[in-house]
Homo-oligomer: A and B are copies of this chain.
Amino acid sequence: MQDHLKGFREFYPEEMVNRNYVLNSLENTISSYGFREIGTPSIESTQLYIDKSGPEIVDHLYSFADKGGREITLTPELTPTVARMVAMRGKSLPKPIKWFSTRPFWRYEQVQQGRFREFYQTNVDIFGSHSPQSDAEIIICAAHMLSDLGLKKDDFTFRISHRTLLSDILKSFSPKIDINAAIRTIDKKDKITLEVYEQSLINSKFPQKSLDELESILSLTNLPELSESINRDNSQTAIQNLGDILDIVSNTLAEEHCSISLNTARGLDYYTGFIFECFDSSGEIRRSIFGGGRYDNLIHDLGGPQIPAVGFAFGDATLEKLLIRTDLWPQLKLSTDYYILQIGNTQKIVNELAHKLRTRNNIVETDISRRNLTSQLSYSNSINAQTVIIVGERDLQKNEITLKKMSTGEEVKVSIDDFPGDHDHPSYEDFHSTSNIDS
């Protein structure tokens, strides 16, 4: 039998219940900020990615010609798609536009721990606001959603940086530097040797003699010091912008996670302002957990109107690693509210009971394999049934059924006319106490 492809995952129910718990928590927090869910196609014209996302991404696409000869690509990221959707209706939609979505994306990459060819990504974006309030909201929302999963001050940090500032710092050394290439090198700094790093900067026409000076500026984490070091107009505006953002973030739950780090650059070319990356504070997970930033020109560059944008995106695999590292990955077990056990020909009553309980939002299973009592009890244990309702032919002659509380084995007989009564989730206790009162 054909196995699943390398880098693609399948999830059994006991994994899905925990994945869904985490995703629901994340999306609930994001929704509480007024982000609205959108739905997007999994395939786009390959042209949408060419020349837009930088060589990093274009090299690793699932691209092919469809049966009609169209060059198409499995979406490696959401941004160009969402940019088009904004461009299409951007003029009529009230601003800011706040959207999120979660779905699989695909990149043809080397499969390694925590990196898959099919990965799930949640995208969160604000379109139509230039204000530092919107940058701050992205940071606060990102910290809030991690906090709601139980992550604490010492678990994660946000490294805050700024693309305009980085570009301006680089330009101050020489007007000839290939800024995008140099920024991509800075982005890779943690993953390559110092030698490769420096050679790569030199290749992008950064002057060799200034490498040490660059390092000392990139290591500054204090805005006033930065302001003194780089006396150029764009830099001052960018530093002011970072100051405004951090000022709004202060006194929120995000504050204690934020620090300035100009060695944070983000790989993609389209960022234009504030950028950030989330890291495991322990350093145990070396890659960034996720990141984001401002990209004010992309929608225009893709052929749409000039609409500012800021957002972040996170993948399922790295976030799962952080939650496992911090012992916060949930350990939920599948369970079943009721198993209705049949003895003899009681199908009609069983169907009725099952229907009543299901319409009251309970998970109910019945015997669909024509099993004997022992096999049914064994199955009800295997599905972690909380209550077993025994419906026997003989009991029914006395108009009775039996509720069995599985955690203790206690049982109570109940008149079928009283069940489930007013109870949405009828339990052994509900009917045990009733019989006490009656006696």
A134 to B347 CA separation, bound complex (whole angstroms): 13
Q: A42-B104, A129-B369, A253-B355 are in contact. List 9 more A-B contacts (CB 8 A).
A: A2-B45, A5-B70, A8-B41, A11-B39, A43-B74, A131-B368, A140-B351, A144-B355, A144-B358
Q: Mark A17-49, 1 if CB is under 8 A from B, else 0.
A: 101100000001101111011111111110110
What's the minimum C-beta distance from A106 to chain B, rounded to whole angstroms? 7
A66/B108 contact (C-beta < 8 A), A5-B43, A33-B358 known: yes
* A209 located at the interface, meaning its Cβ lies under 8 Å from any Cβ of chain B in the complex: no
A40 to B11 CA separation, bound complex (whole angstroms): 6
Of B1, B40, B42, B104, the contact of A304 (CB 8 Å cutoff):
B1
Chain A stretch 87-127: residues in CB contact (< 8 A) with chain B: 87, 89, 94-96, 98-99, 104, 106, 108, 118, 126
Of B31, B42, B131, the contact of A118 (CB 8 Å cutoff):
B42
A39/B66 contact (C-beta < 8 A), A2-B45, A365-B33 known: no
A5 to B137 CA separation, bound complex (whole angstroms): 33
A355 touches B252 (CB 8 A): yes
Chain A stretch 265-313: residues in CB contact (< 8 A) with chain B: 302-304
20 A-B residue pairs with Cβ-Cβ distance under 8 Å, sorted by A, are A2-B44, A2-B84, A2-B303, A4-B41, A5-B45, A11-B40, A15-B39, A16-B37, A17-B37, A32-B358, A32-B362, A32-B363, A41-B118, A43-B118, A94-B383, A130-B369, A137-B366, A144-B355, A248-B351, A253-B355
Q: Mark A144-179, 1 if CB is under 8 A from B, else 0.
A: 100000000000000000000000000000000000
Chain A stretch 207-256: residues in CB contact (< 8 A) with chain B: 248, 251-253
A38/B9 contact (C-beta < 8 A), A94-B382, A252-B355, A368-B133 known: no
List, in ascending order, chain B residues with CB within 8 A of A36's CB. Answer: 13, 16-17, 334
What's the minimum C-beta distance from A342 to chain B, rounded to whole angstroms? 9
A348 to B133 CA separation, bound complex (whole angstroms): 12
A13/B32 contact (C-beta < 8 A), A45-B2, A66-B62, A351-B252 known: no
A9 to B126 CA separation, bound complex (whole angstroms): 22
Interface size classification for chain A: 35 or more
A40 to B5 CA separation, bound complex (whole angstroms): 11
A89 to B30 CA separation, bound complex (whole angstroms): 36
A344 to B1 CA separation, bound complex (whole angstroms): 67
* A398 located at the interface, meaning its Cβ lies under 8 Å from any Cβ of chain B in the complex: no
Q: Mark A76-87, 1 if CB is under 8 A from B, else 0.
A: 000001001101
* A400 located at the interface, meaning its Cβ lies under 8 Å from any Cβ of chain B in the complex: no
Q: Mark A45-62, 1 if CB is under 8 A from B, else 0.
A: 101100000000000001
What's the minimum C-beta distance from A282 to chain B, rounded to whole angstroms? 26
* A422 located at the interface, meaning its Cβ lies under 8 Å from any Cβ of chain B in the complex: no
List, in ascending order, chain B residues with CB within 8 A of A64's CB. Answer: 64-65
B10 touches A38 (CB 8 A): yes
A361 to B29 CA separation, bound complex (whole angstroms): 8
Secondary structure type dominating chain A contacts: mixed
Question: Which residue numbers of A lie inside 8 Å of B, CB to CB?
Answer: 1-5, 8-13, 15-17, 19-20, 28-29, 31-34, 36-45, 47-48, 62, 64-68, 70, 72, 74, 81, 84-85, 87, 89, 94-96, 98-99, 104, 106, 108, 118, 126, 128-131, 133-134, 136-137, 140, 144, 248, 251-253, 302-304, 334, 336, 347-348, 351-352, 355, 358-359, 361-370, 379, 382-383
List, in ascending order, chain B residues with CB within 8 A of A248's CB. Answer: 347, 351
B10 touches A40 (CB 8 A): yes
A39 touches B19 (CB 8 A): yes
Centre residue among A12, A19, A108, A366 by max chain B CB count within 10 A = A12
A303 touches B45 (CB 8 A): no
